[in-house]
Amino acid sequence: MSSHDSAWQRPRGGKLRGLSFHQCLLAAFLLITAVLGGAAAQAMFALEHVALQGRQASQDAAALTAQVQRLAERTVAMERSARQFLVLDDSSLRERYQGAWADARATQAVLAELMGDAVSQPLLAEWVTQAGAAWEVLQGPARARGAALKRLTPLFARLHRLNELLTEHSQQAMDRRSDAVLAELEQQRNLISGLVLGAIALAGLLALGFGHWLLRPLAHVEAVIGRMGDNRFDEPIAVGGPADLRRLGRQLEWLRQRLATLESDKTRFVRHISHELKTPMASIREGAALLRDGVAGPLTADQTEIVRILGDNSMALQRQIEDLLRYQTLASDSQQLQRRATDLPALLARIVDDQRLLWQARGLDVRVEAPPCVAVVDGEKLGVVLANLLVNAVRFSPPGGRITLALGQGEGKVRIDCVDGGPGVATEDAERIFDPFYQGRNQAPGARRGSGIGLSIVREIVQAHGGSCRLLPAERGAHFRIEIPHAT
């Protein structure tokens, strides 16, 4: 087992620190639930507080009404007892007056506590004074009872008026308490609304924060897998976030190193085997040529046909070996860029002119749409990209067809489109059209099958520039678009 295998199987750094993705997700949900639950609990307590105040206000209002009514009844009882005493001269009636007066004083004490305002205190004090004056009248000599009745009338009239004033003040006190309860209710409503809105906003921020923190490593993992799928193993992989995602990042780093090693071994093997095949293949071609030229003696017709087949296939195999070597060389050199300011319209014009004999031989119309544009790129390697796209379009275009090369720029990128009128790319080939040595289903009629490395070289060079190469949907033909950043 290799060292990479052992690194994958045992955790690095001992025991993993931190929480896993599921634990972080659970913690996020619990925290958001706690925020919303706290707001709900605060709202419940606030409503309970207002409800208690409302109940207390209702009880105080009922007690205040009852005490005011009781004071009025005691006043009537005192007046009746006093007048009967002055008329009948019965001491029990004066004692009844005294008892009603004592009951009235107890009622006044309750009223003073319930009303609790500075306005009602003078009224209650005056009530006590008037009731005391009436008692003094009852204490007078029997011979002055007639005058006592006259003195008693205004006193009780004032007592009744004081009862009316106390009733009004009690009503005002109840109104003030009701207003206070309503104000408290409104205040609590505003508080609850603020708490709910604040809790929702905080929960949203927490959800966004946790979502960003948890999903960013997943997006990084997705990008890493995409890079490895494009055979780009040059960047180390370091995934942050929860413990299990960090562990996944370490496994992906192991996989990157392993794939990079395998890719290097594959490249070295292909390069070596290609060089090893060139020498015997040259000998086979030379031998076939000698036989064809009759150096070893005359050949029969069947032997001549066999030699021809042998020569043609050895030539085809020689071209395949040379294509393979050329692809390996270009793939290796594509990562070494010599960037400089390049006039892209002039580069396009040069590439089209270099291929003029090829596209004119097929009667094609090649159009270039290139407004002025300068980009910092490797002009030589970008020329290889444009040449491969143009040759591919010429190969698949029908005689007399049109090829369009369009140049554009925007958002810090250079965009080059190549559109032809050929059979296009089959849907099942779209995902693999840029893979090395892949031959699509739709081939140009009568043309020699290519090596399948042209578009692979295009992708290698464009990705080395930090750009992208895509096959876009088209009603007819193939539409390739390359985008390269760092336009000036």
What residues form DSSP beta bridges with 416?
A: 407, 482
Candidate ranges 103-107, 195-199, 446-450, 483-487; pick with highest mean pLDDT? 103-107
The confidence band for 439, taking pLDDT boundaries of 50, 70 and 90, is: low
pLDDT above 70: residue 145: no
pLDDT above 50: residue 12: no
The confidence band for 38, taking pLDDT boundaries of 50, 70 and 90, is: confident
CA pair distance 255, 233, nearest whole angstrom: 10
Average pLDDT over residues 465-483: 86
pLDDT digits (tens, 9 = 90+) for 62-88: 888 888 888 888 888 888 888 887 778
Which residue, 464, 284, 476, 481, is CA-closest to 377?
464
CA pair distance 416, 404, nearest whole angstrom: 10
CA pair distance 14, 20, nearest whole angstrom: 16
**Between 192 and 18, residue with greater pLDDT:** 192
Category of 401 on φ-ψ map: left (φ > 0), alpha (ψ -120 to 50) or beta: beta
CA pair distance 136, 33, nearest whole angstrom: 74
pLDDT above 50: residue 10: no
pLDDT above 50: residue 7: no
Question: Interior CA angle at 427 toward 423 and 431, to 5°?
Answer: 115
Cα(first)–Cα(last) distance of the chain, in Å? 51
CA pair distance 118, 370, nearest whole angstrom: 93
pLDDT digits (tens, 9 = 90+) for 216-262: 777 878 888 877 776 677 778 887 777 777 788 888 888 888 887 88
- pLDDT given at position 112: 77
Tokens representing 69?
């009514």
pLDDT above 60: residue 441: no
Which residue, 382, 370, 372, is CA-closest to 462?
382
**Between 176 and 416, residue with greater pLDDT:** 416
Which percentage of the chain shows pLDDT scores above 70?
83
Give the chain as a 3 state SS string.
CCHHHHHHHCCCCCCCCCCCHHHHHHHHHHHHHHHHHHHHHHHHHHHHHHHHHHHHHHHHHHHHHHHHHHHHHHHHHHHHHHHHHHHHCCHHHHHHHHHHHHHHHHHHHHHHHHHCCCCHHHHHHHHHHHHHHHHHHHCCCHHHHHHHHHHHHHHHHHHHHHHHHHHHHHHHHHHHHHHHHHHHHHHHHHHHHHHHHHHHHHHHHHHHHHHHHHHHHHHHHHHHHHHHHCCCCCCCCCCCCCHHHHHHHHHHHHHHHHHHHHHHHHHHHHHHHHHHHHHHHHHHHHHHHHHHCCCCCCCCHHHHHHHHHHHHHHHHHHHHHHHHHHHHHHHHHCCCCCCEEEEHHHHHHHHHHHCHHHHHHCCCEEEEECCCCEEEECHHHHHHHHHHHHHHHHHHCCCCCEEEEEEEEECCEEEEEEECCCCCCCHHHCCCCCCCCCCCCCCCCCCCCCCCCHHHHHHHHHHHCCCEEEEECCCCCCEEEEEEECEC
- pLDDT given at position 5: 40
pLDDT digits (tens, 9 = 90+) for 86-103: 778 778 888 888 888 888
Average pLDDT, the chain: 78
Say which residues have a Cβ less than 8 Å from residue 320's Cβ, sequence separation at least 6: 451
Tokens representing 58?
């209702």
CA pair distance 432, 418, nearest whole angstrom: 18
Question: For residue 59, which amino acid is it?
Answer: Q
pLDDT digits (tens, 9 = 90+) for 340-356: 888 999 999 999 998 88
C-alpha distances in Å from residue 50, one per residue of 66, 130, 177, 186, 310: 24, 41, 12, 10, 103
- Cβ distance 422 to 480 under 8 Å? no
Other C-beta atoms lying within 10 Å of the C-beta of residue 78:
24
